[in-house]
Amino acid sequence: MPTPAAPAGRAGRPRSAAADAAILAATRAALVELGWSKLTLGDVATRAGVAKTTLYRRWPGKNELVVDAVAELFDELRLPDRGTLAADIEGVVLQFAAILARPEARSGLMAVVAESTRDDALRERIRASIVDRQKRLVLEGRARAQARGELPPESDPVESSRAVDLIFDMVAGAVVHRCLISAGPVDETWVRGFTEVLISGLAGAGGRR
């Protein structure tokens, strides 16, 4: 993820591999303690036992560093097999909410999204590292539901991809909004209500088509 070293990759001392991991871990630790706006790259470097120059050699700035540090968190998400589509969705929503309850994700994620509204390269980095990377969960869930006969198989591939995007926006959007904006609890009651509306909506809308 960090900017690669001198392209030819030959001469000179190679970059320390350990430094990358230490920097990302230090970034998350600093996010927990200080939040995004009080996080400074000098402090991250100190925590990582690394010079500031080393950090700037690998990432262009705070935003890109935080994207990479946060992106790793979402790779922990797994789609549990609970027997039904509804239960699977409830499971993944709870996991997602649990990650968003962690301070390093809370303040980091929204902040880089805010920055990305004025920086196209950053928006792409977020899309590639976080958004598109987690759409796998929607694909897996749908495939599993189709195998169980809960959903009909795909016909139109364009329509199919559009549906994945929509579902991802609805699920991720609702959870993010609940956790971070309206700041209500993501408990069993809320998750069950949300899943019920979503499943009904998918069945209803799909059936009408």
Partner DNA sequence: CAGTAACCGAGACGGTACGTCTCGTCTTAGT
Partner DNA sequence: ACTAAGACGAGACGTACCGTCTCGGTTACTG
Contact set with DNA (CB under 7 A): 5-6, 8, 10-16, 19, 38-43, 49-54, 56-58, 61-62
Q: How far is the CB of 53 from DNA (least distance, A)?
A: 4
Rule CB under 8 A: which of 153-182 touch its own copies?
162-163, 165-166, 168-170, 172-178, 180-182
| Residue 133 within binding range of its own copies, rule CB under 8 A | no
DSSP state of 152: P
Would you call 105 exposed, middle or buried from its count of C-beta atoms within 10 A (0-12, 13-18, 19+)? buried
| Residue 64 within binding range of its own copies, rule CB under 8 A | no
Residues 190 and 89 sit within 8 Å (Cβ to Cβ)? no
| Residue 87 within binding range of its own copies, rule CB under 8 A | no
Partner touching 205 among DNA, its own copies, none, CB below 5 to 8 Å by kind: its own copies
Helix (H) or strand (E) holding 42: helix 41-48
**How many residues contact its own copies, by CB under 8 A?**
53
Q: Cβ closer to DNA: 49 or 193?
A: 49
Q: How far is CA 162 from CA 138, 142, 178, in A?
A: 12, 13, 24
Residues 6 or more apart whose CB falls under 8 angstroms from that of 103 comprise 31, 32, 35
Report the residue from 29, 77, 131, 139 that binds its own copies according to the rule CB under 8 A: 131
Q: How far is the CB of 8 from DNA (least distance, A)?
A: 6
Give CA–CA dist 59/66, Å, rounded: 10
Residue-level length of the chain: 209
Q: Cβ closer to its own copies: 19 or 39?
A: 39
Partner touching 175 among its own copies, DNA, none, CB below 5 to 8 Å by kind: its own copies
Long-range contacts of range 29-33, CB-CB < 8 Å, 24 or more positions apart? 29/104, 31/66, 31/69, 31/70, 31/103, 31/104, 31/107, 31/108, 32/102, 32/103, 32/104
| Residue 1 within binding range of its own copies, rule CB under 8 A | no
| Contact residues for its own copies, defined by CB under 8 A | 35-37, 103, 106-107, 109-111, 113-118, 123, 126-127, 131, 162-163, 165-166, 168-170, 172-178, 180-184, 189-190, 193-194, 196-205, 208
